[in-house]
């Protein structure tokens, strides 16, 4: 008689997505599923915001050639989860300060604040870039007033 062996969830998840707005929600749901499997559900709110911003930036700004996909890579790390978004565009996004009357332009500032500066942009083999962020700790802090 053999004992059943419980499989540990993989510590790395890679998924390809169509270059379109529906991919944002799908990537978010996939990440939430794996955060729960990795016993990191306490990071859900923060991680959802981060992956939403990064995938949305890729969809809105990468201008992928027709048929190209966006890739996400989620990795369980000691401090939490590393979130990566890969696309085929070589343009590297930069954090900027949005004017008070602008309706967009705050995404990377939000990612910077949520990750305590633990994010960046890297080249990838071949064409394109990857934008990464590490979501760790207790998540979004509540401010009492």
- The CATH code of the domain that includes 43 is 3.30.565.10
CA nearest neighbour of 118 among 77, 86, 90: 77
| 144 falls within a domain | no
State both tokens at 23.
């991919």
Q: Is 41 contained in some domain?
A: yes
Residue 83 lies in a domain: yes
**The total number of structural domains that make up the chain:** 1
Q: Is residue 127 part of a domain?
A: yes
Query: What pLDDT digit, counting tens, does each position of 31-90 carry?
Result: 999 999 999 999 999 999 999 999 999 998 776 666 688 999 999 998 899 999 999 888
pLDDT at residue 98 greater than cutoff 70 = no
Residues contacting 40, CB < 8 A, separation 6+: 47, 76, 80, 81
**What was the pLDDT predicted at 52?**
96
Q: Count, in order, helices (H) and strands (E) of the chain.
A: 3, 5
Would 111 be classed as within a structural domain?
yes
Q: Is residue 3 part of a domain?
A: no
Element housing 12 (H / E): strand 12-18
**2 in a domain, yes or no?**
no
11, 75 in Cβ contact below 8 A?
yes
Residue 141 resides in a domain: no
Look up the domain containing 58 and give its range: 20-136
Q: Whole-prediction pTM value?
A: 0.82
Whether residue 115 has pLDDT greater than 50: yes
- Using DSSP, state whether 82 is helix, strand or coil: strand
């Amino acid at each position: 008689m053999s004992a059943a062996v419980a499989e540990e969830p993989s510590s790395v998840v890679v998924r390809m997505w169509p270059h379109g707005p529906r991919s944002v929600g799908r990537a978010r749901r996939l990440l939430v599923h794996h955060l729960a499997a990795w016993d990191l559900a306490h990071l859900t709110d923060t991680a959802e915001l981060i992956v939403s911003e990064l995938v949305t930036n890729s969809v809105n700004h990468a201008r992928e050639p027709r048929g190209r996909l966006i890739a996400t890579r989620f990795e369980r790390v000691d401090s939490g989860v590393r979130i990566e978004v890969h696309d085929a565009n070589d343009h590297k996004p930069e954090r900027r300060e949005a004017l008070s009357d602008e309706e967009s332009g705050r995404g990377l500032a939000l990612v910077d604040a949520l990750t305590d500066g633990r994010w960046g942009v890297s080249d990838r083999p071949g064409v394109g870039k990857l934008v990464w962020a590490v979501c760790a700790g207790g998540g979004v802090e509540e401010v009492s007033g």
